[in-house]
Structure 1
Amino acid sequence: MFKVFSKCTLAALVVTSSCVSAEQTRKLDSSIWQLQWSDEFTYADSELDKNWISQNGPTENPWVLSSRWRDNAQVKDGVLHLIAKKESRGGQEWTTGNVWSKRSFHYGYFEARFKYAGAYGTNNSFWFWPKQGVKGDLKACEIDVNEGHFPNIINTNVHNWTDTYTLPNGRVAHSDKQLHHTLIGKPDHTLVFKKPIKSKKIRLTSNNPASIHISEFRVFPPSASYPNAFDVEQVNSANNLAQVDNVTIKTNGLFNKLMSEESFAIDGNPQTRWVSKKHGEKFLQLSWDEPQEIGAVQFINGWLQEHGVDKGAYRNLISDYSIEYHDGNNWQKITSYNAADVADFSKDFHTYGIEWDKDYFNFYFDGELYYTMRNDVCFSETTMLFSLAILKAAIAGPVSDDIDGTSMAIDWVRYYTRKENSEH
């Protein structure tokens, strides 16, 4: 039916033409699944309201900066555009669009083909929420197939909004299972400087929308060659200035939901990692008592999935960074990286799918399975939503005028159910 992500599609899709795209190879097994409902958006804009309801007014969610209006949901040339505009309306400084289905859905396979809005700060969502309410003792469940963040971050989540609890600080919380997925890219970066620099301070900075995970950050003096990031023997034989006695480390802080320490980034153990605070600019800075001659920086980021269908894949790969050194007066940039140069989900359409039944959720990217989790809470019928939001606190990256005029573009959405005699 579907394919599990191979090493080719995870790591090499963007660097070699020998890998055939999943969009070309994917085939839905018609002996198991039958199409029940779809919207291809091949009609006039005025007909959108036959299948969908649009928000018209301010957004109550305190993390969302945009009010949402029917004007911002436009069908054109077979595509539904949810448009972001910098305009004051409804008491908020931005406007965007969102729609939810008039009909309800239950178990099956759901898939939508869309592009992200091409700017940081945007939340491009394909999700489910029971706007019609739930019956009896069933839970109010939110299923996020993807809350996508530019340029290529996929966010999955399942919320139980019924069973809330109060934290010691008085904040009311609920159960959720949020994960940030970066399926294209690599965890190791070795940055060899064109000319060695001499400095007491060097740092990595990033506007990554989520926490950054650094398992090892290494600094090397000039050399004819540098170690493979994952070759223990090579690394141990190299002179790593991040592990000398007089080095000090400073960061923007720690993510409080994971076991983490700043020192884990330079402890020589790839099994531990520093996990930054989730919001705002992230940085990791090393300082020495005396200037050091530096020829290269190397780091390993993200976290390694050790179980399930995605065993061996890395999660939470960094979206952007700069490497800088201090010249005694100011910070000077040596090099920078932008994951949009590797994979930009606002430039090309991709499909995001979920297979949902009473036992499991299976998440798919371009028709290939990349993540599975148990279903412990979502058993009621629900409505389908597409929404574009602008998020505060750099949750999806910094908010800037680059957002103005961008859109989440949905090509189609389809819903399949299993045939009665198919294996489950």
Structure 2
Amino acid sequence: MKKQIVIGNIITVFLFVLSFSQTLLANDEMINLSQWHLKWSDEFNYSNKQLDQNWISQNGPTENEWVLSSRWRDNAVVKDGVLHLMSKKENRGGQEWTTGNVWSKRAFHYGYFEARYKYAGAYGTNNSFWFWPKQGVPEGEIACEIDINEGHYPNVWNTNIHNWTNTYTLPNGRVSHADDHVRHTVFGQPDHTIALAKPIKTKKLRLLSKSPGSIHLSEFRVFAPSSNGYPEALDSNQMSELTNFSLAQDVTFTTSGALSRPFSKDARSISKDKFAIDGLSNTRWISEKGSHKFIELNWNKEKTIGAIQFINGLLHESGPSKGIYSNLITEYQIEYHDGEKWIEITNYDSVNVADFSEEYHTYGLSWDEDYFKFYFDDKLYRTVRNDGCFSETTVLFSLAILKAAIAGPVSDDIDGTSMAIDWVRYYTKKP
């Protein structure tokens, strides 16, 4: 068995695939710009007042029920060759926050689009580079929202396709629409093993997380001490060699709640609390969204624990994406109860792995009548068949503050942060 690094004790989404079919890709294919002609760009190398030559800004409240911020031209500021979409904690337009957004005066059609930008450096922010037909669509065609990236701090990249024309009514009376969403966590890992320098004795153990989005937990293991180290989390063949207290007969398992609807058409998307500790890596507990997600194990008799291990995320098991994980957890704490209080064993924050508010990255989309191809730092990650988005559209950049912890908890940390856009470019395919 592989020995682990030892640390001290103090250490919707309902996926409707109605109008669109998708294939996820994560390979070595890169965008080859020599095959494209640069048709239009904005490098933001001008004064702030010149922004209005190419872009229009919202000035007023935001009608979207999930957005907490009104948006104003004052919050879109060009400085030193960068467009900053600012966030401010101020009551304006009937909302308690303000942010900025812009959309292009001209419309675009098929081609390759890319932008280089940083996220606002706080949970709760939605840093978007997207398409929406502000000019309207011809009669009989679909109004498509294409999100090249709805970025969530610290390093979550969301690609979405929404069909806002063909809506339908759910049994609860809510009007919904077809959408196709993938939450990419390019940096991070599915397996976490916390080997303790000194074993602990407890009757209670829990994992807490404010990670944006749902947690996908396929296995949570609590091992007795082992002098030979602990196995690879993803190697299920080694698990029988150790005592796993998650499978003990006297364990009681509770969570903050399982997702109340299937995550996708995949049978593995059915979520139940017990799936996190059933000894099977092909089942999953999927949490609801929200600020305070947790799992907790309680035992009737005290256990001596040497390591905690878990597998998280959504594993794609077929096609070109085989072996790739998405929806990885971005933040957590693990604690045990000493009989009087909860004590932290370890914590994890993926901002220490990759911080997109400190790092510029490029987000690209190739769009034609057949496919959408999504790129991250020029590398192809996702291909989706285009079954309905054929009309011209405008390009938008927007910073929003989202309710319901969709992008993580909203706090005063947001105040003064900004989405910083270095440039945006549009290419057409060479003959």
Q: Mean Cα displacement is larger for which, 233-242 or 166-175?
A: 233-242
Whether contact under 8 Å (2:26, 2:382) holds in the other structure is no
Matched, 1:246 2:257: no
Could you tell me how far apart the structure 1 residues matched to 2:426 and 2:319 are? 26
Match of 1:227 in 2: 231
Shift of 1:375: 1.1
Deviations 1:156-191 (A, max 9, x none): 110010111111111111110111110111110000
Could you tell me how far apart the structure 2 residues matched to 1:235 and 1:309 are? 29
Shift of 1:203: 0.7
Number of residue pairs the alignment of both structures matches: 399
Whether contact under 8 Å (2:27, 2:380) holds in the other structure is no
Q: Which residue among 257, 272, 275 is the counterpart of 1:264? A: 275
Match of 1:215 in 2: 218
Could you tell me how far apart the structure 1 residues matched to 2:214 and 2:91 are? 31
Partner SS for 1:178: strand
Whether contact under 8 Å (2:78, 2:84) holds in the other structure is yes
Deviations 1:83-133 (A, max 9, x none): 101111111111100000000011111000000001000000000000110
Q: Map 1:116-127 onto structure 2 (within 5 A).
A: 116-127=119-130
Partner SS for 1:287: strand
Partner SS for 2:33: coil
Whether contact under 8 Å (2:40, 2:425) holds in the other structure is yes
Q: State the AA in 2 paired with 1:329.
A: E
Matched, 1:415 2:426: yes
Deviations 1:58-92 (A, max 9, x none): 11111111110001000001000001011111111
Q: State the AA in 2 paired with 1:257.
A: P
Partner SS for 1:234: helix
Match of 2:384 in 1: 373
Could you tell me how far apart the structure 2 residues matched to 1:343 and 1:297 are? 24
Whether contact under 8 Å (1:308, 1:371) holds in the other structure is no
Match of 2:395 in 1: 384
Shift of 1:415: 0.5
Q: 1:377 to 1:6 in 2, by over 3 A?
A: closer
Q: 1:257 to 1:153 in 2, by over 3 A?
A: same
Shift of 1:5: 4.4
Match of 1:292 in 2: 303
Could you tell me how far apart the structure 1 residues matched to 2:381 and 2:78 are? 31
Could you tell me how far apart the structure 1 residues matched to 2:317 and 2:233 are? 19
Q: State the AA in 1 paired with 2:262.
A: K
Shift of 1:268: 1.1
Match of 2:143 in 1: 140
Q: Which residue among 368, 382, 386 is the counterpart of 1:357? A: 368
Could you tell me how far apart the structure 1 residues matched to 2:231 and 2:414 are? 40
Match of 2:10 in 1: none
Q: Which residue among 276, 289, 294 is the counterpart of 1:278? A: 289
Match of 2:326 in 1: 315
Whether contact under 8 Å (1:309, 1:370) holds in the other structure is no
Mark the runs of 5 or more structure 2 residues left unpaired by the alignment.
1-24, 264-269
Q: Which residue among 109, 112, 124 is the counterpart of 1:109? A: 112
Could you tell me how far apart the structure 1 residues matched to 2:106 and 2:148 are? 18
Could you tell me how far apart the structure 2 residues matched to 1:300 and 1:128 are? 35
Could you tell me how far apart the structure 2 residues matched to 1:233 and 1:307 are? 21
Whether contact under 8 Å (1:309, 1:369) holds in the other structure is no
Shift of 1:329: 2.7
Q: Over aligned residues, Cα RMSD in angstroms?
A: 1.4
Q: Which residue among 176, 181, 192 is the counterpart of 2:179? A: 176
Shift of 1:27: 6.5
Q: State the AA in 2 paired with 1:334.
A: I
Could you tell me how far apart the structure 2 residues matched to 1:173 and 1:295 are? 48
Q: 1:371 to 1:216 in 2, by over 3 A?
A: same
Could you tell me how far apart the structure 2 residues matched to 1:309 and 1:33 are? 25
Mark the runs of 5 or more structure 1 residues left unpaired by the alignment.
8-21
Could you tell me how far apart the structure 2 residues matched to 1:278 and 1:378 are? 29
Could you tell me how far apart the structure 1 residues matched to 2:339 and 2:404 are? 31
Identity over aligned pairs, percent: 66
Q: 1:253 to 1:387 in 2, by over 3 A?
A: same
Match of 1:12 in 2: none
Could you tell me how far apart the structure 1 residues matched to 2:80 and 2:330 are? 32
Could you tell me how far apart the structure 1 residues matched to 2:90 and 2:283 are? 45
Match of 1:14 in 2: none
Q: State the AA in 2 paired with 1:171.
A: R
Q: 1:362 to 1:307 in 2, by over 3 A?
A: farther
Q: Which residue among 149, 156, 161 is the counterpart of 2:152? A: 149
